[in-house]
C-alpha cells in the first residue's frame, strides 16, 4: 500500500503543469473555427450531462450554415420521451419524437415541435448552441489569445493522433471555458465543456466530414 502511494505521488509530481500558450499553440487554437468552417459538414457524437440523465447525441453539424441534425437518447432510459430526432440552428430547435437515435433520411416532414433555443437553464440547448457556433469564415486573433488566460494543459492522444489539450475562453468570451483537443494542423478532434451547473464535462467528438444536411421547413 505504501509503495502504491509513493508511486502515485511520483506520477503526480511528473505530470506537466498548465502554462501559457506559445505563439504556435495560439495560432493553432486561432485556426480551429476557421478549419471547421473549411470542412463544412462534419459528423459528431456527444455525451452531455444533464439533470435528467446523460444525453447521447449522434449526428452532423454544418459549420457554414450553423445547422445541426442529430439523434438523441438518454442513457439508461427506454421510455418514449428519452429519444428522438433534433434539428437546430442558432436560434431555434426542432424535436421529433421517434425511436431513432441517429439521423434518418429522408428527413421526416411531420411531427416536429419547434421552439426557441433557451439562453440559460438547459444543458441540451447549451450544447447545441455551442456546436453550431464552432465555425467562422476567418481565423480568430492569435495575439488576443496570447494576451488572454488561455492555457496549454497537456499533450494527449485522440485515437491514433497526438493532440495538445488547450483551454480557452468560451464563445464571445462569455461562456464557461472550453477544452480544445487540437492536432498539429489546427483541426479540432474533441471539445470538452462544462454546461449549466454540471460538474462533469460534456464531451464532443468530431468524426470526419459528412453529407449535406436536409432542412425541415420551419428552420429554413
Residue-level pLDDT at 12: 44
Tens of pLDDT, residue by residue over 47-103, are 999 988 999 999 999 999 999 999 999 998 888 788 999 999 999 999 999 988 999
Is the CB of residue 186 less than 8 Å from the CB of residue 58?
A: no
Residue-level pLDDT at 171: 60
Is the CB of residue 177 less than 8 Å from the CB of residue 170?
A: yes
Q: How far lies 93's CA from each of 14, 24, 69, 117, 125, in Å?
A: 46, 37, 10, 6, 8
Among the residue ranges 96-100, 137-141, 204-208, the one predicted with the least confidence is 96-100
Residue-level pLDDT at 11: 41
Tens of pLDDT, residue by residue over 164-175, are 999 997 765 455
pTM comes to: 0.90
What DSSP character marks residue 108? P
Which single residue is written with the C-alpha cell 416532414?
109
C-alpha cell at 149: 488566460
**pLDDT at 119 exceeding the cut of 50:** yes
Q: Domain residues of the chain, as ranges?
A: 19-219
Architecture of the domain made up of 19-219: Clam (2.50)
- Sign of the CA dihedral with 206 first, then 169, 172, and 175 last: positive
Residues in a beta bridge with 156: 163
Q: pLDDT band for 15, please (50, 70, 90 cuts).
A: low
Amino acid at each position: 500500500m505504501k509503495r502504491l502511494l509513493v508511486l502515485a505521488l511520483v506520477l503526480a509530481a511528473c505530470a506537466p503543469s498548465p502554462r501559457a500558450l506559445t505563439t504556435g499553440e495560439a495560432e493553432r487554437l486561432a485556426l480551429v473555427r476557421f478549419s471547421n468552417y473549411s470542412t463544412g459538414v462534419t459528423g459528431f457524437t456527444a455525451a452531455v450531462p444533464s439533470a435528467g440523465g446523460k444525453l447521447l447525441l449522434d449526428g452532423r453539424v454544418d459549420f457554414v450554415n450553423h445547422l445541426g441534425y442529430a439523434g438523441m437518447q438518454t442513457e439508461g432510459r427506454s421510455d418514449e420521451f428519452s429519444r428522438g430526432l433534433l434539428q437546430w440552428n442558432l436560434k431555434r430547435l426542432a424535436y421529433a419524437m421517434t425511436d431513432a437515435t441517429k439521423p434518418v433520411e429522408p428527413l421526416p416532414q411531420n411531427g416536429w415541435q419547434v421552439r426557441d433555443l433557451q439562453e440559460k437553464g438547459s444543458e441540451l440547448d447549451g450544447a447545441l448552441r455551442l456546436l453550431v457556433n464552432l465555425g467562422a469564415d476567418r481565423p480568430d486573433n492569435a495575439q488576443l489569445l496570447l494576451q488572454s488566460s488561455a492555457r496549454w494543459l497537456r499533450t494527449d492522444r485522440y485515437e491514433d493522433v497526438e493532440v495538445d489539450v488547450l483551454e480557452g475562453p468560451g464563445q464571445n468570451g462569455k461562456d464557461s471555458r472550453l477544452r480544445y483537443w487540437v492536432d498539429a494542423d489546427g483541426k479540432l478532434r474533441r471539445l470538452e465543456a462544462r454546461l449549466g451547473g454540471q460538474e462533469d464535462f460534456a464531451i464532443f467528438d468530431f468524426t470526419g466530414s459528412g453529407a449535406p444536411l436536409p432542412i425541415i421547413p420551419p428552420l429554413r
